[in-house]
Structure 1
Amino acid sequence: MEGGEAKGRRRGGLTVFSQEYYAVCAFGGMLSAGTTHLAVTPLDVLKVNMQVNPVKYNSIFSGLNILVKEQGLSFLWRGWSGKLFGYGVQGGCKFGLYEYFKKMYTDLMIVHNQTMIFFISSASAQILADIALCPFEAVKVRVQTQPHFARGLFDGIPRLYAYEGLSGFYKGLGPLWARNLPFSMLMFSTFEHSVDLLYRKIIQKKREECSRAQQLGITCIAGYTSGAIGTIISTPADNIIASLYNKKAHNVLQAVKSIGFPKLFTRSLPVRIALVGPVVTLQWFFYDSIKLLTGL
């Protein structure tokens, strides 16, 4: 586990746990999260509309067909700036701070329970990352589901502020934490344990003894596994967020009542699995690629 390494150890010209080390991790997280979320913007547009209007958009293929037919092909890329910049900022905070908190909690804890360290490190990082993401997410959801609201971030941010004030940007922060905290905790923990298991039981080699291709292959397998598990857990909160931001409900309890408790777990789940699984896999692939290229 990286958190247990001696402070000051150098890798590829960088001192582990130095400011430069955390900067590389943050940059890797920002680049990997921003670009991968940008790439799947059409699926995200469909997902949000399925959550807001499940009767009209009741499946992946018919939903895409309706959106393209009624709004045009370019509509599938609405909200791209919120995806790129919002999730770029979130990814930089999430991955960079995760590495920082993992080292900090490892030093603080007398008994080193790896799963507990993974949980509290990812939760601490995610809380701060979501505060950074929330304004971008608030504008993005409105842009994707309300065609006349705004074209993107630059006109959407001042318009949202004019309509709802500062509180409009953070209306969904609680549900965002409810979605992303369990997702992040399971994602990081599942990824770390999956990587360890694959090296010990499947490859039966130490990471340093494997080629870069083998290391990145392990990353992809563990990344997809962690993304799929996190998606199932976080779907109810994701549906609530879409309902709140589109004024289908004024509070969480009203959103749960209008959606229906069973549908909280099933609405948009197939498209979320199709969306989140590859995104998380690519995020880990790009993130670990950057760490490999910099000698980490």
Structure 2
Amino acid sequence: MCDAGGYQALRGRSAGQLNGRPWAAALEESSYEYGSTKYLLLCGLGGMLSCGLTHTAIVPLDLVKCRMQVDPSKYKGILSGFGVTLRDDGLRGLARGWAPTFLGYSMQGLFKFGLYEVFKIRYAELLGQEKAYEWRTGLYLAASASAEFFADVALAPMEAVKVRMQTQQGYARTLRAAAPKMYGEEGLWAFYKGVAPLWMRQIPYTMMKFACFERTVEGLYKYVVPKPQSHCTKSEQLAVTFVAGYIAGVFCAVVSHPADSVVSVLNKEKGSTAFDVLQRLGFKGVWKGLFARIIMIGTLTALQWFIYDSVKVYFKLPRPPVPQAPKSRK
């Protein structure tokens, strides 16, 4: 994890305390202990802000992207999609679905970032210091996949409402109208039938998002940034965070786009299954709207990491430096 908080007054810990956490070899002084309940809750808060705010900010682009996926004959491209939406729904129509987006992705961010920190710490302790460093990419993948499993269960209901509002013309204009209508038509299943496709989309996406980010930060400080991380200012370290986040976001978009197309169509229709939708779309169909998603997810991921690290800076949370090989390996 990129440390955007500086390294004044670093404090050491005993080998026993650091067992399994090579990135926690030196942490800046703070009122919150690394790995404590308060630390993890504040990480969850950072996740809520980073995911809720960023996803809400790009609702217009997300709306056009979803409509390109479910009705490619009408919404043929990004610019033409915006034009058709403005013509049909007016300027206000571009914000349709903002309320379920904000609520759903805030809950997702709470679990995604908060539980990632939990699982990263716990899995590293199980592996031990040397293996946690040697297998750190696998550790990031496992921790992020575990966190996203629970995050998607929290996201699913509002994601279903959002997609129904955005892609089914005339269905409902507000969250208060859409949610009761969906429940009345299909019961509780309406809100959770998209969980499996969400796992298909979000788990690979999140694994790429966290592992690629962590290793990109490590690579930037090793090969690009001309001075050690500990000598960089807060602004310089946040800049590294943003660049690494954007690089991770591009890979995330490509990995998760086919499942995203399935989710969009599935939540629009009644009675369909993920397999039915996948068969109907075909290989070419699942890649519709990829360019829009790359722009959206690249920017989104970069801003999320930037906001998340900024929250850590604001609350002066202990910030682990870039992983270093244990002395025994050196």
Which bin holds the TM-score, normalised by the shorter protein?
Answer: over 0.9
Q: Does residue 72 in structure 1 map to residue 93 in structure 2?
A: no
Q: Does residue 211 in structure 1 map to residue 233 in structure 2?
A: yes
Report the counterpart of residue 37 of structure 2 in structure 1.
Answer: 19
Distance 1:276 1:121 in 2: 21
Contact 1:139 1:153 (C-alpha < 8 Å) held by counterparts: yes
1:119 maps to which of 104, 128, 141:
141
Q: Show CA shifts across 1:171-220 (max 9, x none).
A: 11111000001110011000000001111111243332210111011001
Following superposition, the deviation at residue 153 of structure 1 comes to 2.2
Following superposition, the deviation at residue 253 of structure 1 comes to 2.1
Report the counterpart of residue 283 of structure 1 in structure 2.
Answer: 304
Normalising by structure 2, we get a TM-score of 0.85
Q: Does residue 261 in structure 1 map to residue 283 in structure 2?
A: yes
Q: Show CA shifts across 1:4-25 (max 9, x none).
A: 3569966421111001100111
Q: Which has the larger helix fraction?
A: 1
DSSP 3-state at the match of 2:106: helix
Distance 1:70 1:181 in 2: 35
Report the counterpart of residue 143 of structure 1 in structure 2.
Answer: 165
Change (3 A) 1:8 1:101: farther
Letter in 2 for 1:23: L
Following superposition, the deviation at residue 32 of structure 1 comes to 1.0
Report the counterpart of residue 197 of structure 1 in structure 2.
Answer: 219
Letter in 2 for 1:295: K
Paired residue total: 295
- Of the structure 1 ranges 254-263 and 235-244, higher mean CA displacement relative to structure 2 is found in 254-263
2:114 maps to which of 91, 96, 104:
96
Distance 2:270 2:281 in 1: 9
1:293 maps to which of 296, 314, 322:
314
Distance 1:279 1:152 in 2: 24
Residue ranges of structure 1 left out of the alignment (5+ in a row)? none
- Of the structure 1 ranges 110-119 and 44-53, higher mean CA displacement relative to structure 2 is found in 110-119
Distance 1:244 1:287 in 2: 31
Report the counterpart of residue 248 of structure 2 in structure 1.
Answer: 226
RMSD over aligned CA atoms reads 1.8
Contact 1:60 1:271 (C-alpha < 8 Å) held by counterparts: yes
Percent identity over paired residues: 41
Report 1 or 2 for greater relative contact order, CA contacts < 8 Å, sequence distance ≥ 6: 2
Following superposition, the deviation at residue 77 of structure 1 comes to 0.3
DSSP 3-state at the match of 1:15: coil
DSSP 3-state at the match of 2:311: helix
Change (3 A) 1:81 1:7: farther
Distance 1:52 1:13 in 2: 50
Distance 1:38 1:244 in 2: 22
Letter in 2 for 1:176: L
Q: Which runs of 4+ in 1 moved over 3 A?
A: 1-11
- Of the structure 1 ranges 195-204 and 118-127, higher mean CA displacement relative to structure 2 is found in 195-204
- Of the structure 1 ranges 106-115 and 18-27, higher mean CA displacement relative to structure 2 is found in 106-115
Distance 1:274 1:286 in 2: 18
Normalising by structure 1, we get a TM-score of 0.95
DSSP 3-state at the match of 1:290: helix
Distance 2:295 2:109 in 1: 20
Contact 1:47 1:272 (C-alpha < 8 Å) held by counterparts: yes
Change (3 A) 1:168 1:11: farther
Contact 1:249 1:258 (C-alpha < 8 Å) held by counterparts: no
Report the counterpart of residue 128 of structure 1 in structure 2.
Answer: 150
Following superposition, the deviation at residue 262 of structure 1 comes to 2.7
Letter in 2 for 1:293: Y
Contact 1:186 1:229 (C-alpha < 8 Å) held by counterparts: yes
Following superposition, the deviation at residue 292 of structure 1 comes to 1.4
> Which protein has the larger Cα radius of gyration, Structure 1 or Structure 2?
2
